[in-house]
């Protein structure tokens, strides 16, 4: 294909957008609406997942130190514990600190009034990166010299793991369905746009235009409309997301919800929107035009 022809076809693609303004507008609006739905749901799922993970981190393991060890020896175990794979944080708590907490928790219970610091052990409060690997990590902690006993809530960890898995599968299924529905809607809009121009395509075929020549302006048009839809959807999503988390922060005085800033979602969101915009624009126009090429 000659350069001047290529330039002409690109120009025709751009011209087509304005010439068929209403259909172009409809295609962009449908793309924006579908991407907004998919994007918003994905952002919601991402945040819920992070909240569940944060909640999961409150499931701490208590590692009791052998009471025969000196204070310095007990403190030195912390370095070894923090080096174990999957340990997010191992925080030393002396027997005195433990007593303070114990007294605070049981101050109205006379049965514990005589408890002394020497009755308790030094301990570490361990938070894991991934609680699904709790059993294996606990085995490694047990192997550290000086560790006397471990209290780990395996059932709670399993509960969180199940919740995360269910959430993951359900969200993937919903996002998948939303994507398919969106693609079908957008593809139908593109088909309508093609139908609107079937005569033009038929004339091009009649005068001997090759399929590539006929397709290129439509694909250029689809590309531009897809990208435009993706860009509009992205900036709308950004604005809506920020507005929503600001509103939520204002009413969430107990700080129950923690939403990540949109900048954390920037790269996956841009990648998804651009990929979806490109796919529906280019693939949508490429496949939709096939029906009208068969003359």
Partner 1 sequence: MIEFNEVTKSYNVGTHALRGVNMQIEDGEFAFLVGPSGSGKSTIIKLITGELKPTSGTVHVNGYSLERIRKREVPYLRRTVGVVFQDFRLIENKTVYDNVAFAMRAVGARAREIRDRVPYILELVGLENKSRRHPRELSGGEQQRLAIARALVNNPSTIIADEPTGNLDPARSLEIMSLLQEINNLGTTMLVVTHERDLVERFGKRVIAINEGVVVHDGMDGYYRV
Does residue number 8 form part of the binding site for partner 1 (CB under 8 A)?
Answer: yes
Candidates 170, 203, 249, 271: give the one binding partner 1 (CB under 8 A): 203
Residue 163, token pair as written in the block: 């919740």
- By CB under 8 A, name the one of 104, 206, 250, 254 that touches partner 1: 206
CB proximity list for 51: less than 8 A, separation 6 or greater: 257, 258
Sequence-distant (6+) residues with CB within 8 A of 46 are 260, 265
**Shortest gap between Cβ of 292 and partner 1 (angstroms)?**
14
Considering only residues 104, 207, 250, 254, which one is a binding residue for partner 1 as defined by CB under 8 A? 207
The interface with partner 1 within residues 113-172 (CB under 8 A) comprises none
Q: Please say which residue, 157 or 193, places its beta carbon nearer to partner 1.
A: 193
Per-residue contact string for residues 211-250; x = within reach of partner 1 by CB under 8 A: x-xx------------------------------------
Cα dihedral sign for 61, 62, 64, 70? Answer: positive
Residue 44, classified by CB atoms within 10 Å of its CB into exposed (0-12), middle (13-18) or buried (19+), is: middle
CB of 89 or CB of 205, closer to partner 1: 205
Q: Which residues pair with 62 in a beta bridge?
A: 125, 151
Q: Comparing C-alpha atoms, which of 244, 241, 248 is closest to residue 39? A: 241
Cβ proximity to partner 1, 203 vs 275, nearer residue:
203
- Pair type for strands 123-128 and 87-93: antiparallel
| Stretch binding partner 1 (CB under 8 A), from 174-182, 186-194, 205-213, 260-268 | 205-213
3 binding partner 1? (CB under 8 A): no
- State how far the alpha carbon of 107 is from the alpha carbons of 42, 95, 103, 110, 285, in Å: 47, 17, 5, 7, 73
The least distance separating partner 1 from the CB of residue 8, rounded to whole angstroms, comes to: 6
Give the residue with the Cβ less far from partner 1, 169 or 209.
209
What the block records as the tokens of 261 is 């800033």
Name the residue with tokens 């109205």.
Answer: 108
Residue 72 sits in the site that holds partner 1 (CB under 8 A):
no
Which CB atom, from 254 or from 295, has the smaller least distance to partner 1? 295
Query: Count residues contacting partner 1 (CB under 8 A)?
Result: 21
Q: Which residues bind partner 1 (CB under 8 A)?
A: 1-2, 4-5, 8, 19, 199-200, 202-211, 213-214, 295
């Amino acid at each position: 294909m000659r350069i001047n022809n290529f330039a002409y076809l690109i120009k025709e693609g751009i011209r087509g957008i304005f010439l068929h303004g209403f259909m172009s507008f409809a295609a962009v609006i449908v793309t924006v609406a579908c991407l907004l739905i998919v994007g918003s749901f994905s952002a919601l799922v991402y945040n819920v997942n992070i909240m569940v993970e944060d909640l999961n981190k409150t499931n701490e393991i208590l590692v009791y130190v052998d009471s025969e060890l000196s204070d310095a020896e007990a403190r030195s175990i912390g370095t070894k514990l923090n080096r174990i794979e999957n340990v997010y944080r191992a925080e030393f708590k002396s027997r005195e600190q433990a007593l303070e907490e114990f007294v605070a928790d049981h101050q109205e219970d006379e049965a514990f009034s005589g408890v002394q610091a020497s009755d308790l052990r030094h301990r570490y409060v361990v938070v894991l990166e991934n609680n699904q690997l709790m059993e294996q990590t606990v085995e490694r902690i047990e192997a550290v010299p000086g560790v006397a006993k471990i209290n780990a809530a395996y059932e709670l960890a399993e509960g969180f793991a199940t919740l995360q898995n269910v959430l993951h599968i359900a969200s993937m299924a919903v996002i998948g369905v939303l994507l398919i529905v969106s693609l079908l809607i957008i593809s139908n809009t593109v088909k309508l746009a093609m139908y609107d121009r079937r005569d033009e395509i038929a004339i091009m075929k009649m005068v001997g235009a090759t399929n590539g020549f006929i397709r290129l302006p439509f694909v250029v048009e689809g590309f531009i409309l897809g990208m435009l839809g993706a860009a509009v959807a992205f900036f709308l999503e950004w604005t809506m997301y920020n507005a929503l988390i600001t509103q939520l922060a204002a009413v969430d005085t107990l700080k129950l919800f923690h939403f990540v800033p949109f900048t954390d979602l920037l790269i996956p969101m841009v990648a998804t929107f651009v990929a979806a915009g490109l796919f529906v624009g280019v693939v949508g126009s490429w496949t939709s035009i096939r029906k009208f090429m068969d003359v």
